[in-house]
Chains A and B, each alone.
Chain A
């Protein structure tokens, strides 16, 4: 089955996105666009120390009522997250710092005023009495004996130590002809959505509830978390996520600002809001990525990999964010280290480390960009060590299509696809043989050309079993949807996910259209409001097209079934004689439009079969039977030119062969890939959130935090393989993250390939001009 198998259907149609018009004419409603009379703005007073004891807060004279701190909210509960494991240590994360501060940017107080500028004027006058303690900055050093301990009561700085072990690594190590050890580092990043975070809260006296506008990936989940922290019953809170300008994981955690704003609104009775600025975002929002890998590959001389042994350090920052905390990062990194490759043994020690930095959360790709970077860089290193072509070493180690479903040594059930084919396609797209000839000839301008490959898998649509394996305190194992046909035959879909750039207003409408044969233009998708939609978990982990798409298909199918029953009754024929087409129920000799049926169901019940309840409305939940997930995958090939003197890297060509099963809308799939690769290029070459030894963040504006912009993005060439998944609706797989997983590995391999004759190699991201230039100088024996 191909995406275009049904030429009359909506599955596979390259429909323009329904949600784009309002954005293109500047008529969107983001949280910062919401107007409420009497609104007060909040500016936070944040810790300037990475670690210290907080002994007092002095509020400016005469302005005491405008300033709030922990002492004003003794009943607020801490917002702790993390897995339900006794070995996981927790440190209470209070919305307002209590006895200690643990990172620069932690909230100490909040100031309210009619404008943000005036609120900042007050914030400037608040004095926090902090006695500095030693900062904990380096992830690996933090676990060494004698390191300063960040959290009182921790035996060492780890939130958790855990081991992932499969097969007999010692036996493999004892007999393997080749053993190669390397260390890699993926540095810290911010998530940087186009719209920063934002929250607005006020008490609605008519409804007797707290209304919270929140830029979030999951309104229902955040109501749950906010009510836990505030001690408010859930029926007293309505969370509305209006237009949300990107999330990438960073808006999928309960954050202290959100709790603080709600608490202030409840205490003062005034509407209050906080709109995150970029400085706050870089310093104090969700951080991501920072992984350190020390891995040893065991292999045959022909390049066949036998096993992997290693140690992974995850820099989790100061706290564990609700709900999942940072532990998933370590387990996913370890379990994804074997990547798409066959091997006999895996043994990885993981350490999730508390440091004096903003807490870590998920970010597009979650752990896999780091794992992919480590294994794929290591595969290139192995190939070079053995004198083999890296693409060939990949080919002989990849899981083959006839082995599917294949359980990796990391415990991942790779369900379907043709990984070697994806690799061979990108190899041909960039013309590896021609590139190798070009490298021999050299470049007129002195730059070096290099090519790098990376193959990734992307677990998507994983359900209860997988989340329970991760010991998650929330198990997002299903999604829900209500399909409602209005009296004129048009439709509403009410869904529990959030659409913040994924095109779900379009793709979910396409799915319903496929089932009910109504044009997607007549189907509206509603989400992001706890008062409007059934419970759902939100959009993250490449789950929405599998789960929410499945729920929409089921609900609409049930609705279509009822419409056919009504249609059969109206035509006085048997149900089995009916079918749906072109917005009508057809019988052998006639048809009834869905509009007529909807009219009967909603407002003219006398036309319904005897005993049939009125309304055309169905609610369904969906979870695939196989809840270990469905694996999208792909191969990326990057061709770069590196200036060995200045270290500047330019991407000359970028080819992608990917397979996400059936595509509901191939144009949206391409958009997701392009956006993901853009962020992957950011990880590879530009983005970094460094800290100095005292725990001060060194990238606090976009002058220092480099993001890729349009000039940094090459024209991507995308080839789609289509292997429909077994066990999801239409054979879809999730694919929102894959684009971001492979680029750091592919680009770093390309840069190292370009510089091979200099001997320079790069072990960490981003590959800044300074790092690359210094590596070349060092390899050439010059001062770095």
Chain B
């Protein structure tokens, strides 16, 4: 399958990109690494008139240590995070998450912003950013705004981004050196989209965050499991997670529930170890 003919535009800066997007509306589609979009174009599962290439915008490529936070531009590739080429707010967690995304060829091109913008329920970054309590920075005609990652994802391929907004990057709080974390993923094979991915973070201040994604409608925070994690009682955490999963993935069959329970329990166990 080959894509239908389209126009291609590469705005020179963020302001021009915002203006072009605001004007074109639904007729434009942003592309960064293209690792999900291009196959969908080839399969003709998506239709638009203009491909708006934001992959080279300086504003989206910026990465910076901002003291209490790290800013990662939306066009940062998975490989740059995996390889530690950008500041790490997460004591190694983001590098681990990046290293488990698809295959290296995909990670060389695919971006964290593209992953969040597409909001595939089985993608890794929405779950990771929720666990890390990150903010999504969006630019629109009226300037920039910040939204918590937890709450940004509304459903499969659906986010709180307005159609005329561009995801600029992410503001991610730094974990202290004493912080601990764990992740666990179940997929049909290495590199495949996950059936379940859980990420557990213990920042070291007595709080905890456990996020889950996979076959759910979207990545989400497991509130009860997060509360149960600091106690260190994995059996109690497992029962707490069961209630969270029933809420987050109400249509899950027995196998999906087993996978979710397994990933949450093992991510928690790793964080506690």
Contact B186 A648 (CB under 8 A): yes
CA A564 to CA B74, docked complex, whole Å: 75
Contact B186 A121 (CB under 8 A): no
Given contacts A117-B5, A120-B2, contact A706 B188 (CB under 8 A): yes
A501 within 8 A of B: no
Among the listed A124, A706, A774, which residue makes an inter-chain contact with B192, where contact means beta carbons less than 8 Å apart? A706
CA A268 to CA B208, docked complex, whole Å: 70
Among the listed B5, B44, B103, B189, which residue makes an inter-chain contact with A686, where contact means beta carbons less than 8 Å apart? B189
CA A701 to CA B261, docked complex, whole Å: 29
Contact B192 A277 (CB under 8 A): no
CA A115 to CA B258, docked complex, whole Å: 48
Contact B5 A711 (CB under 8 A): no
Given contacts A645-B258, A646-B259, A709-B103, contact A686 B193 (CB under 8 A): no
Contact A686 B188 (CB under 8 A): yes
CA A777 to CA B253, docked complex, whole Å: 12
B39 within 8 A of A: yes
The interface size of chain A toward B, counting residues with CB under 8 Å, comes to 32
Contact A774 B254 (CB under 8 A): yes
For residue A711, which residues in chain B have a CB less than 8 angstroms away from its CB? 189-191
B262 within 8 A of A: yes
As a 0/1 sequence over residues 1 to 29 of chain B, the CB contacts with chain A under 8 angstroms (1 = contact) are: 11111000000000000000000000000
Among the listed A121, A645, A708, which residue makes an inter-chain contact with B262, where contact means beta carbons less than 8 Å apart? A645
B165 within 8 A of A: no
Query: Residue on B with the closest CB to A445?
Result: B266
Contact A120 B1 (CB under 8 A): yes
B195 within 8 A of A: yes
B120 CB to closest chain A CB (Å) equals 10
Contact B190 A712 (CB under 8 A): yes
Query: Residue on A with the closest CB to B196?
Result: A646
Scan residues 192-221 of chain B and give those whose CB is less than 8 A from a CB of chain A: 192-193, 195
For residue B186, which residues in chain A have a CB less than 8 angstroms away from its CB? 646, 648, 769
For residue B44, which residues in chain A have a CB less than 8 angstroms away from its CB? 120, 124
Contact A774 B2 (CB under 8 A): no
Contacts between chains A and B (CB distance < 8 A), count: 66
Contact B43 A774 (CB under 8 A): no
A279 within 8 A of B: yes
A783 within 8 A of B: yes
Contact A784 B254 (CB under 8 A): yes
A–B Cβ pairs within 8 angstroms, 9 of them: A121-B5, A645-B262, A703-B192, A709-B190, A711-B191, A712-B190, A769-B259, A770-B255, A773-B258
Given contacts A645-B258, A769-B195, contact A117 B2 (CB under 8 A): yes
Q: A124-B44, A712-B190, A777-B258 are in contact. List 10 more A-B contacts (CB 8 A).
A: A117-B2, A117-B3, A646-B186, A646-B259, A648-B186, A686-B189, A709-B189, A711-B189, A777-B254, A784-B255
Interface centre among B5, B188, B263 (most CB of A within 10 A): B188
Contact A768 B2 (CB under 8 A): no
Query: Residue on B with the closest CB to A278?
Result: B1
Query: Residue on A with the closest CB to B122?
Result: A703
* Interface bracket on B: 20 to 34
A33 within 8 A of B: no
Query: Residue on A with the closest CB to B188?
Result: A706
A372 CB to closest chain B CB (Å) equals 23
Given contacts A709-B189, A782-B254, A783-B254, contact A121 B259 (CB under 8 A): no
B235 CB to closest chain A CB (Å) equals 14
A726 within 8 A of B: no
Query: Residue on B with the closest CB to A121?
Result: B4
Contact A279 B43 (CB under 8 A): yes
A687 CB to closest chain B CB (Å) equals 10
Contact B1 A774 (CB under 8 A): no
For residue B5, which residues in chain A have a CB less than 8 angstroms away from its CB? 117-118, 121
Among the listed A121, A701, A768, which residue makes an inter-chain contact with B43, where contact means beta carbons less than 8 Å apart? A701
A558 CB to closest chain B CB (Å) equals 51
Scan residues 668-716 of chain A and give those whose CB is less than 8 A from a CB of chain B: 685-686, 701, 703, 706, 708-709, 711-712
Contact A646 B262 (CB under 8 A): yes
Query: Residue on B with the closest CB to A774?
Result: B255
A98 within 8 A of B: no
Among the listed A115, A647, A782, A783, which residue makes an inter-chain contact with B2, where contact means beta carbons less than 8 Å apart? A115
A116 within 8 A of B: yes
Query: Residue on A with the closest CB to B39?
Result: A701
For residue B261, which residues in chain A have a CB less than 8 angstroms away from its CB? 645
As a 0/1 sequence over residues 755 to 784 of chain A, the CB contacts with chain B under 8 angstroms (1 = contact) are: 000000000000011100110010000111
For residue A709, which residues in chain B have a CB less than 8 angstroms away from its CB? 103, 189-191
For residue B262, which residues in chain A have a CB less than 8 angstroms away from its CB? 643, 645-646
CA A117 to CA B4, docked complex, whole Å: 6
CA A646 to CA B260, docked complex, whole Å: 9
For residue B1, which residues in chain A have a CB less than 8 angstroms away from its CB? 120, 277, 279
Query: Residue on A with the closest CB to B36?
Result: A703
CA A79 to CA B77, docked complex, whole Å: 50
CA A645 to CA B265, docked complex, whole Å: 11
For residue B3, which residues in chain A have a CB less than 8 angstroms away from its CB? 117
Query: Residue on A with the closest CB to B256?
Result: A770
Among the listed A279, A706, A783, which residue makes an inter-chain contact with B189, where contact means beta carbons less than 8 Å apart? A706
Query: Residue on B with the closest CB to A770?
Result: B255
Query: Residue on A with the closest CB to B186?
Result: A646
For residue B254, which residues in chain A have a CB less than 8 angstroms away from its CB? 774, 777, 782-784
For residue B103, which residues in chain A have a CB less than 8 angstroms away from its CB? 709
For residue A118, which residues in chain B have a CB less than 8 angstroms away from its CB? 5
